[in-house]
Structure formats: structure tokens, C-alpha cells
Amino acid sequence: MLVMGAACVWPAAAPPAILFENVIEKSGIRFAMHNSATPQRHQVETMIAGVAVLDYNNDGLLDIYCVNGAQLPAMEKTGPQYYNRLYRNNGDGTFTDVTEKAGVQGRGYSMGVAVGDYDNDGCVDIYVAGVNYNQLFHNNCDGTFTDVTARAGVAGVHPKLGKTWAISAGWFDYDNDGLLDLMVVNYVKWDLATEPPCITAGVRAYCSPPVAGGDRHGHRSSGRVRAGASAGGTVTWSARGGSGNVRDGHSGDYFVGGAGQLVGGAPGGGNRSGDGAAGGVR
């Protein structure tokens, strides 16, 4: 028996429209970014702020961390309106502000944030890049964080320039040792106390970067610093702030986790070298 049939061809349906709904009011997120805008038009006022999405408490739901500014000219978070904020996902479309419970309010004029589990304990840690403070918050895996910036050596303080103005950061394993390393991107050499006024048509205006104070390409260094032992989840600053001439005009700091080594150099430029288990950039 031979059975023959004909295939029915239906016209292709139009793809469904992708629609978004603004649910900020329902969500319970009440974050407001405060850049402390002033009539003096300080350069930092134009730059903020960053945000990270992470599952900080390992409940399978993405939480939100927002960074914030500071009061000017103090450059400090003098009140709760300047706190960085951590919002825990409740799983029902709403979020709860757990900033103070978690201990991640932050210090100074914050700019950017990068999240990653740098010590491989299964809990995501937070690194905040800022103008006058960089901070590394270690996740204690119990809903709280501890500031380990000084112990980890990632404060972003240059031996000659002091604290460099950091605007962003990123975690990555540059030497494939299974430990997340950290790169911090710096902006310009800037000081609120010495920032020059910029006038346009008789009106105070924001300065462009060259006028605002600095060498956007940073400074090279020939020194080298070895990283700390990886057993303690240590991240060690191994290139001085503003090392190298990066193609986008920003300089970078290198921090390496575990038994690595970085020497001067710049991302996208410079020769890579190694000494046994330790990787390096020269």
C-alpha cells in the first residue's frame, strides 16, 4: 500500500514583541544616586555610578548592588543618602535593602563595582572602585561582608601619586591558576583642592580631563611585587597605580591572586613572561 500526503505550509507567524514593564515601584528599590552637585562643577560630579548584579547569599536569586557618591567637599559618605546599597532579591519581584546588615555601605566617593569569588569559597565578593577609596568586601557566606582592603593590598594607593582616581574594575584569571585576579581602571590625576576653575561664556563649567588635572595615560613603574599565598584568599597589588599607557586613555592597576607576578606593563601592550608557576606581564 502506498500512502501519499501533502505537507501543509502555514504562513510564518510574526515574532512576539519583546515588552518591558517598569516595575521599580513594585520592587521596593528606592535607590537614589547622590553626586553632591555643586556650583563649583567638580569633575567627579559627572562620572558616577556603577551597579552590579550578583547572588550574594547563594539562594539562586540575583541581588543588586548600587554604588553612590559622597558629600562634597568632604568626599565622605556623611549620611545614609550617600551609602552604597545592597538589595536582596526576595523571589517575589520585590527587594529588601540589607546594606547595613551586610556591612557594605562603603567609604568615600564611589565610582564602579566588580563582583567575583576571589578566594574560591563559593561566595561572591565585592570590589568597589572610587575616587578617594577603593574597597574589597569579602563575603563571609552568612549574609555579611568584611572590609579586607588593607589586608589584601588592593587600596589603589600609588607610592608617588597617592590614591589614584579609580573608575571601574574587573575580575579575571589572567594566568590560568584558578584564582581570580583584579584589574582596576584609573582616570585622571585629580585633586579637589587644586582643581582649576573652567569658565565657558562667563559661566562655571565642568573641565575636560586634560584641564582637570592630569596625565590620563598614567605612569610606568619598573618595580615588581610578588603576590601573597593563595591559601588565605589573598589578592596582592603588584603594579603601581597608573601603570602603562592603555589604548583608551585610561591607566590600570594590576592585582594578582595567588602565586603570580605582574611587572609594569599595560593591557593590550607589553610582553608576557612567566617564571615557573607565576605568570607575569612586563
On the 0-12 / 13-18 / 19+ scale of CB atoms within 10 A, 106 is buried
pLDDT confidence of residue 14: 78
Q: Which residue type, as a one-letter code, is found at position 193?
A: A
Which residue bears the cell 500500500? 1
pLDDT at 276 over 50: no
DSSP-assigned letter for residue 153:
T
Of 131-145, 218-232, 235-249, which gets the smallest average pLDDT? Answer: 218-232
Q: Give the residue among 170, 131, 136, 132 at the shortest CA–CA distance from 154.
A: 136
Non-local (6+) Cβ contacts of 39 within 8 A are 204
Instruction: Give the highest mean pLDDT range of 32-46, 48-62, 149-163.
Output: 48-62
Q: For 205-230, give one letter per residue: b (16+ CB within 10 A) or e.
A: eebebeebbbebbbbbbeeebebbeb
pLDDT confidence of residue 263: 28
pLDDT at 57 over 70: yes
From the CB of residue 282, how many other CB atoms can be counted at a distance below 10 Å?
Answer: 13
Alpha-carbon distances of 238 from 44, 124, 165, 277, rounded to whole Å: 27, 23, 18, 16
Q: Give the residue among 253, 267, 206, 185 at the shortest CA–CA distance from 225.
A: 253
Q: For 162-171, give one letter per residue: b (16+ CB within 10 A) or e.
A: ebbbbbbbbb
pLDDT confidence of residue 213: 53
- Tell me the C-alpha distance between 127 and 191, whole Å: 23
Average pLDDT (115-133) is: 95
pLDDT confidence of residue 10: 65
DSSP one-letter string for 186-234: E-----TTTPPPEEETTEEEPPPHHHHH--TT------EEE---GGGT-
Average pLDDT (178-192) is: 88
pLDDT, averaged across the chain: 76
pLDDT confidence of residue 260: 34
DSSP-assigned letter for residue 118:
T
Task: Give yes or no for a contact between 238 and 261, defined as CB atoms under 8 angstroms apart.
Answer: yes
pLDDT in tens, 127-167: 999 999 999 999 999 999 999 999 999 999 888 888 889 99
pLDDT in tens, 3-24: 555 556 666 777 778 889 999 9
Comparing 191 with 276, the larger pLDDT belongs to: 191
pLDDT at 264 over 80: no
Which residue bears the cell 515588552? 19
- Tell me the C-alpha distance between 100 and 251, whole Å: 33
The residues with which 157 forms a beta bridge, in sequence order, are 163
Q: How confident is the model at residue 211 (pLDDT cuts 50, 70, 90)?
A: low
Task: Give yes or no for a contact between 282 and 272, defined as CB atoms under 8 angstroms apart.
Answer: yes
Average pLDDT (181-193) is: 87
